[in-house]
Structure 1
């Protein structure tokens, strides 16, 4: 019962966990380290968000639609786990923990370059993060264990803000390192486990090219682009994951998680943009808590299923136009079919994205309401023993 149920639960909270606060995508889960023996695991999630809002025109005051600003995306995961000794386990995992892919309509007020002859584009942002995490788990007596490891993370970002004199920044990829530490307790007889893990912040020094259209006053000519190579320190935030599960009845498993992310640690403030606008490109005022609660059931020796509910707190404060959401609730369904050596899982999740008010310009704000996302996922775990 335990193996099949845990896989069904994992697909609900892992493979389909594609839309959360800030730039969060993977949730930085470490459930692979708890697999028995030696296994390889592949998971792929896909999320199709629908996020739109309106902002009044600077000239007429009429509301202008942003279009669907959030592009769809994939969340891959690849891992290998093995038992080095009876007491010591090792796992290595690849995921993409953070990301963004935002693009507004050409008619949106913030997609307008007011500099005569300036280059034309739309308000957009793209951020890609890749991480490889190597973990060790040492088992003590009484079901307790200690977890620790190193995370290598690579970040790249680009942002275009037409309203700010056609401003654009494109960064190079930067590699930096952080760490993971945690503790866990298990009681296999009742499929009980509690795991608490801490993910450190990771500091990146992004080298970037910033460019903009200066106002065409002689000797500046219309359409001229000024570029400057600069660098900016950016920190992906520290976070804490609490995961728990227990058998509550024959063939039935209760499980859940709480994730805290310290988003105010993340601020992207390229110097040319700050000098011209007086503010950071991206920053956050509030941290987030994300809660998941689910129930799994084994229908047969081969098939198990699970249902999950998710909730993320909203702050009610104005948010960035490059991430115009504020909290969510979700429901997910997942199932696992167990073969002799493999466990094949699939799941789907619907997310109701919280309404948000986004900072605009010239004292004008934008309202984002009625938004949602669909996520699907597939996972296969293959035993090498």
Structure 2
């Protein structure tokens, strides 16, 4: 197996792994972190890629479990449909540029969207007091470099980098069913909306060992948590009877999770490559994210669930995520190579969301019309496993998820991906 074939297979393997990793993993993961471009042997290379993911989670047997008209409550919604389509499709872009500096240093700059979520069951279902629409967006700007040197039969590489991250989003839910009230109160929607935004800086460190002659690479990379500081936002209850007519400024505190990923790959026969990865993400740090009125900041008070100035919360109660993937790649000729993977992602839900285990199969192909251009495309199909949502207590004993309960079966998730890489 010559070096040219090995390097083409490296690209096919990395493509498949990136495709599967972005196909609806647990927590708030979208594209996650990916520095595979750093290992490209070309002196200068740029890459543009995108993945469109189509989850099809259907909620069933929905029951409004808080039917009072006060707080908690918001009205009896059990006359509304007891099923809903929860998820929305989404697009995950990535842009990267890598350059070699001499024989030992490689540096990469990239833009990605590592985190995100979009659920939109709407207002016409029995669980509208739990969620009408929730959307989280992220933007990540990173710079990563490595230093490599000869060690034994191959090369040892040390990796380090920093990244700046912006996160924003909103949640809407029905606070009060106003249809039971007389005019003009019944002209209000009864919907409350929380808007939020935060930003922070993280860092990464890692190492890798490569033997190019047999396409062997083992890498271990740690990505730090990103402290978003004071997440700022507003709570708009102007459409809820008896609530303030102007948005209430609020703040909260949260970090995006740290992660560790181990990747392995090696040539196993002429024209064949095996690869796999294991990733841990610290999603358990996203528990109950509280938001409080900014008025308490002047008094030097911090925001705590149920404490002074408490306004609302995002109830997540995630557990840590694990993703295990394995696959195989093959070079068919000088222009075509391909790969296929099987991935298991452990669900992060502890009973407050539909983020259960996911099994995904993906396949991709790489076409190289010239030595300077590579085009990749592929698809994935997976199963979102069944489960249920209902009341759960946080570690402090506070109940959450008491507004609605529902179940869901084994649902489908699909994804399409394409990328273009140009080398100089």
Same fold (TM over 0.5): yes
Aligned counterparts of 1:284 and 1:112: Cα–Cα separation in 2: 19
Structure 1 residues 22-171: aligned runs within 5 Å: 22-36=27-41, 37-54=43-60, 55-58=62-65, 64-112=81-129, 123-142=132-151, 143-163=155-175, 166-171=191-196
With 163-172 and 263-272 compared, the bigger mean Cα shift is at 163-172
Distance 1:302 1:65, change over 3 A: farther
Unaligned runs of 5+ in 1: 114-121
Q: CA deviation at 1:380?
A: 1.3
The total of aligned residue pairs comes to: 367
Write the distance in 2 (CA, Å) between the matches of 1:133 and 1:282: 30
Name 2:358's counterpart in structure 1: 328
Larger Rg, first or second structure (1 or 2): 2
| TM-score, length of structure 2 as denominator length | 0.80
Alignment partners' CA distance in 2, 1:60 and 1:135: 51
> How far 1:225 moved relative to its partner?
3.6
Tell me what 2:367 maps to: 337
Superposed CA deviations along residues 358-383 of structure 1, whole A, max 9, x for unmatched, are 23654752112121211010011111
Provide the secondary structure at the position in 1 that maps to 2:17: helix
Cα deviations across residues 329-371 of structure 1 (Å, max 9, x unaligned)? 0100100011221111101000111223223654752112121
The Cα RMSD (Å) is 2.5
Residue 200 of structure 1: aligned partner: 224
Q: State which of 266, 272, 290 in structure 2 corresponds to 1:269.
A: 290
1:215 offset after TM fit, Å? 7.4
In terms of mean alpha carbon deviation, does 310-319 or 184-193 score higher? 310-319
SS at the partner of 1:300? coil
Hey, what does 1:116 align to over in structure 2? none
Aligned partner (choices 285, 289, 292) of residue 322 of structure 2? 289
> How much does 1:213 deviate?
5.6
2:84 alignment partner, SS class: coil
Distance 1:366 1:225 in 2: 33
Q: What is the aligned partner in structure 1 of residue 24 from structure 2?
A: 19
Structure 1 moving runs of 4+ over 4 Å: 57-63, 213-216, 272-279, 360-364
Q: 1:236 is matched with which residue? A: 256
Check the 8 A contact 1:57/1:63 in 2, yes or no: no
Cα deviation 1:148-173 (Å, max 9, x = unaligned): 0000111111111214773311124x
Take 1:325 and 1:101, find their aligned partners in 2: how far apart are those partners?
12
Q: Contact (CA 8 Å) 1:99, 1:129: kept in 2 or not?
A: yes
Q: 2: CA distance between counterparts of 1:186 and 1:341?
A: 23
Distance 1:149 1:51 in 2: 36
Q: Deviations over 1:184-217 (max 9, x none)?
A: 000111100001001101011221011226975x
Of stretches 328-337 and 57-66 in structure 1, the one that deviates more from structure 2 is: 57-66
Distance 1:188 1:259, change over 3 A: same
Instruction: State the distance in 2 between where 1:159 and 1:287 align.
Output: 23
- Report the CA distance between 1:283 and its aligned residue: 2.5
Q: In 1, distance between residues paired with 2:220 and 2:344? A: 19
Q: Which moved more, 1:147-156 or 1:205-214?
A: 205-214
Matched position secondary structure for 2:15: helix
